[in-house]
Structure formats: structure tokens, C-alpha cells
Structure 1
Amino acid sequence: MIEELFTRNIRWAAGRTRADPEYFRRLAAQQSPEYLWVGCSDSRVPANEIVGLDPGELFVHRNVANLAPPQDANFLSVLQFAVEILKVRHVIVCGHYGCGGVRAALSGQRHGLIDHWLQPVACLCRRDAAELEAITDFDARVNEVCERNVLAQVAAVAANPFVQDAWRRGQTLAVHGWIYSVQDGLLRDLETSVDGAAGARRLDGRRRAPPPPRRRPRIEGPR
């Protein structure tokens, strides 16, 4: 079974070369992405593919529930490298409906070590408990938390010292919050973009209070 992956790799590389003989030469020459993608580890959400970009055009960091914790050295290393070395112009925090990490945090059950990682989501659920409990359908409640979690992570990225320092230097940098539906393959903009310190402060203030209800596209069934 493992050996089959090497066979698939050979076929993939050969197919790429046939379609575009310069493809790997271009990739090897330079990495100069304009975007940092902070997304979920879920295997159904392949960052490059859903935005139609080649690997060298998108710098990617993924973890369970697309978190941006200021204590995580892995995330901080990626963020600093993207902002200070690659000079990306956009940081995109992208969640997805039906996220298993969000579902685990919302369930209230013990799952082991992952519970520690998901504390930011669990805290959000406790903060907004009254509003969330009013959503009787559990799948719909999960999806609402998925959106709120993206908003919280955008605020966390915008408040990060690496991002704040970039704005202080006059660097062009914006942070965006998107969400993806596995069911229809489409991205949705949560309209929470921020491109400067003043906007980050306003966004942080919004994060401390439950966000007001927003109209969103209706998607039937689990996402």
C-alpha cells in the first residue's frame, strides 16, 4: 500500500512534466508567494487546489481547527518567516464547515491531548453558550462555531507582534477570514479583513463580545 504512493508520485511528476516541461524548474528556482494560508489539517481541504494556485504561490500552515495560538512555536515560526522573510501581502485564515476539531470542542466530551490544543475553541463556546444553545440543530451549531472561530483567529493574527511590527514598518499586509464548504467546494468571505493596527484594535474589541447574527448562504445538511 505504501509502495503505491511512490508509483503514484512517479505518474504525477511525469504527467506534470508532459503538460508543462518547465513546471519543476520554475518551482525550484524561487519561492515568492503573496499569501500565507492558515487552515485546518482536514484532508478534504487542500489549500492550493481550492484556490487554483501552484505550490510556490501559497505558503501553507495547517493544524487542527485552523488555530493561530500565540504560544505555539510552530505557528509563530511560520508566521514570522512568511511576514518577515517572504514578505507575504495577505494572511488568510480559512476554516471549514463541519470541522471535526470544532465538533470535539463543542461536544463537551474528553478526547485526551487534543482537548488542550482546542482550549481556544472551548473557551469561545463557553463565552457564547447562551447564543449557541439556542441553535437546536447540532450540525448548525458546529457550523456557527466554525465561523466564530475563524473570526477569533483573524483577531489573534492581527494582534500578533510579528504582524503589528510589519504594520509599524509600513509593510503592506492584510489578514482575512474565510470559510470553506466541503459540500459544494466553495469559499465564503466572512468579511473580517483587516490591514492595519487601527483595524486590528476594532477587531479585537469585536472578538471580546459575541458577534451579532449575520445573514449567510444556506447550505443544506452537514458540512
Structure 2
Amino acid sequence: MHYHDYQELINNNRKWVSEKLETTPEYFEQLSKGQKPPYLYIGCSDSRMPITSFTRTEPGELFIHRNVANQVSLTDMNLLAVLEYAVEALDVRHIIVCGHYCCGGIEAAYKGTATGVVENWVSPIRDIYMQHRQEIDILPTEKERLQRLSELNVIAQVKNICTTSVMHRAYKTVKYPTVHGWVLDIENGLIKELELPTKEWQAQGILP
């Protein structure tokens, strides 16, 4: 893996700008006129998760919020502000919660090894593990158990999205965004779209 010197970041920016202007002279003029992204992406802060690279999306296409282990905490004002702005001001059509395999936050929660602020932050994942312990522990390898916990965590965070006041307001309108759960497999770069228990959530009054 190649690690850049700090100055390379600035130099690479200059090169990228030049390349963009060569192919599309009005690129930044158009970009500066405002944003209308169709997607809100909530993902993990992991440095291996540049979702624009994995989805080949350009600036202006994804409105992004990231934190450790892609949590949707109902007391996180940062997340709630991003969600409200995305839904009510930007009118996004899709909300994607994306986790990944080989996630340090998931592993720390599973093993109970997190300390300090991180321990507090991933404690909801530990709760998810305890709730699904029978299903997870029966899997033959630790890798499979961690992968399943990553998936269950994403589904739980999608459900949290749907229970927010922001989404409750959206569900009373004609148009509201569709929610999705993804897991990215870092070992092969592929995105797995998870099946969500939408009928169950509708029966519970979480989804319209």
C-alpha cells in the first residue's frame, strides 16, 4: 500500500483540477451552482471506504455522513442534522446505510475490547450481538460471525433511520426516500444489498 507524503495531497489536488478542466472546462463553474444529490450515504469512517471510488460517483451525487461503524444514534445531533437537511432541503430519493466486513468497530464490540469513548460508541453493536447471539455463535468461524454481525448492525441502523422524527414527517408526504442497507466486502470490493424486513416493519408501524 502506498502512503502519500503530506505535500502530495496538495499536489494531487492541483493535478486533478487540471485534468478536470482539460476534459470539462465548465466543471467547477457548474459544481459551484449548488447540489441536488439523489443519495444520502451513511457509512463507516474506515479509511478503506471511499464510497465514491467503489460506486464511481462524482462530486454532487452523494450527500455523505460517516462515523465509526456506521451508527445511527437517535441522540446524535450531527447525524440528525445531516438526515433532516438531506430529506427536507435536498430532497434525496434514497438513503443508504453501508457497513463493511473487516470492520474494527464491529470486532471491538463483538470481542468487548473497546475502551474509552469508542467503547461507549459501539455499545449498541454489542447489544445487537447479545440479541442475536444464538444465530451468530452457531456460525463455524469467527470471520463468518463478524460478517453476520456487520450485516445485522446495518439492518438495525436502517431501522433506526426509519424511526426518526425526520422520516416520520417524510412518510406523511407523497414522496419520501427509500432506505437501503449495504455491506461492502473489502476483500473483493463488491457491495452486497441486504434484504430488509420491510413487511415486519410495516406491521410494526415503522414503515408506511
1:68 matches 2:86: no
Distance 1:176 1:108 in 2: 28
Indicate the RMSD between aligned Cα atoms, in angstroms. 1.9
Give the letter aligned to residue 174 of structure 1: T
Question: What's the offset of the Cα at 1:203?
Answer: 7.1
Query: Does the 8 Å CA contact 1:174/1:193 hold for their aligned counterparts?
Result: no
1:137 matches 2:141: yes
The partner residue of 1:175 within 149, 167, 179 is 179
Distance 2:140 2:112 in 1: 16
Q: 1:92 — aligned with what?
A: 96
Question: What's the offset of the Cα at 1:193?
Answer: 7.8
Q: 2:84 — aligned with what?
A: 80
TM-score scaled to structure 2, two decimals? Answer: 0.90
Distance 1:30 1:110 in 2: 40
Question: What's the offset of the Cα at 1:176?
Answer: 0.7
1:150 matches 2:154: yes
Query: Does the 8 Å CA contact 1:176/1:193 hold for their aligned counterparts?
Result: no
Distance 1:102 1:204 in 2: 29
Question: What's the offset of the Cα at 1:83?
Answer: 0.5
Give the letter aligned to residue 18 of structure 1: E
Query: Does the 8 Å CA contact 1:42/1:64 hold for their aligned counterparts?
Result: yes
Distance 1:203 1:2 in 2: 51
- In structure 2, relative to structure 1, the CA distance for the partners of 1:202 and 1:68 (3 Å cut) is farther
The answer for unaligned runs of 5 or more in structure 1 is: 206-223
* Superposition pairs of residues 1-223 of structure 1, within 5 angstroms: 1-192=5-196, 200-202=201-203
Distance 1:184 1:202 in 2: 36
Distance 1:67 1:203 in 2: 22
- In structure 2, relative to structure 1, the CA distance for the partners of 1:199 and 1:130 (3 Å cut) is closer
Distance 1:136 1:189 in 2: 23
Question: What's the offset of the Cα at 1:2?
Answer: 2.2
Query: Does the 8 Å CA contact 1:39/1:61 hold for their aligned counterparts?
Result: yes
Aligned residue pairs total 202
Deviations 1:158-201 (A, max 9, x none): 1111011111122231111111111111111112285xxx8744
- In structure 2, relative to structure 1, the CA distance for the partners of 1:65 and 1:59 (3 Å cut) is same
Query: Does the 8 Å CA contact 1:177/1:193 hold for their aligned counterparts?
Result: no
Query: Does the 8 Å CA contact 1:147/1:179 hold for their aligned counterparts?
Result: yes
Question: What's the offset of the Cα at 1:120?
Answer: 1.2
- In structure 2, relative to structure 1, the CA distance for the partners of 1:120 and 1:201 (3 Å cut) is farther
Question: What's the offset of the Cα at 1:114?
Answer: 0.2
Q: SS where residue 55 of structure 1 aligns?
A: coil
TM-score scaled to structure 1, two decimals? Answer: 0.84
